[in-house]
A = this chain, B = another copy of it.
Amino acid sequence: MDDKPLYIPILLGTARQGRQSEHVAAFVLSEMKKRPEIQTELIDVRTLKMRLDDAGEEMKDASYAEKMTRADGLVIVTPEYNHGYPGLLKHALDMCLEEYIHKTVAICGVSAGPFGGSRVIEQMVQVVRELGLAVTFTDLNFSRVRDAFDEQGSLKDEKYVGRLAKFLNELVWMSRVLRYGREKIPPL
């Protein structure tokens, strides 16, 4: 097995003012940094170069595309807005295509309410598959996110540490498997 670290950035999928998902992304980032097998960084949709009068690969943000090219996997942290994904998250994802193929993605859903972003994850699964990403079957669901973190963004509910560990274990396994596939198993 290849011991080279996996490059797995985190995409924070909302630009909303007052977004609670920022706390989630910061927590995920901090836990991922503790793992020697992962190299990570935060990609914030708010800082991507996007336009309000275009869409798709034509408006590709070069820095984002470079990271996706280099990535072995991706964590998407996304709130659920009206049972779907934030528009700007989709606007960002649609900028690339070939860059994603045969990489792994794991999705972290965030809700103000009780259902942990379960619905946005289901819609995301359909989108990321079309992008060529292989999505893990272990989600991470943050329900009532305002109860999970304090005002400063510190985790209050420690059970998420263990859940995140399982979520990352599967992501690392799948990313290793697909990296082996990309490097060693010839396409037919």
Q: Does A60 contact B (CB under 8 A)?
A: no
Give the contact-size bracket for chain A. Answer: 35 or more
9 closest Cβ pairs, A-B complex: A87-B91, A177-B181, A87-B90, A169-B188, A16-B55, A87-B87, A83-B130, A84-B127, A82-B130
Contacts A84-B90, A114-B143, A125-B126; A15 near B176 (Cβ below 8 A): no
Contacts of A88 in B (CB 8 A): 52, 55, 87, 91
A83-B129 in contact (CB<8A): yes
Q: Name A residues whose Cβ lies closer than 8 Å to a Cβ of B.
A: 1, 14-18, 46, 50-56, 58, 81-94, 101, 114-116, 118-119, 122-123, 125-127, 129-135, 137, 141, 143, 168-170, 172-174, 176-178, 180-181, 184-188
User: Which of B82, B87, B187 meets A131, CB within 8 Å?
Assistant: B82
Contacts A81-B90, A90-B87; A185 near B125 (Cβ below 8 A): no
A130-B137 in contact (CB<8A): yes
- Closest beta carbon of chain B to A14's beta carbon, Å: 6
B176-A185 in contact (CB<8A): yes
B126-A53 in contact (CB<8A): no
> Which B residue's beta carbon lies closest to that of A14?
B55
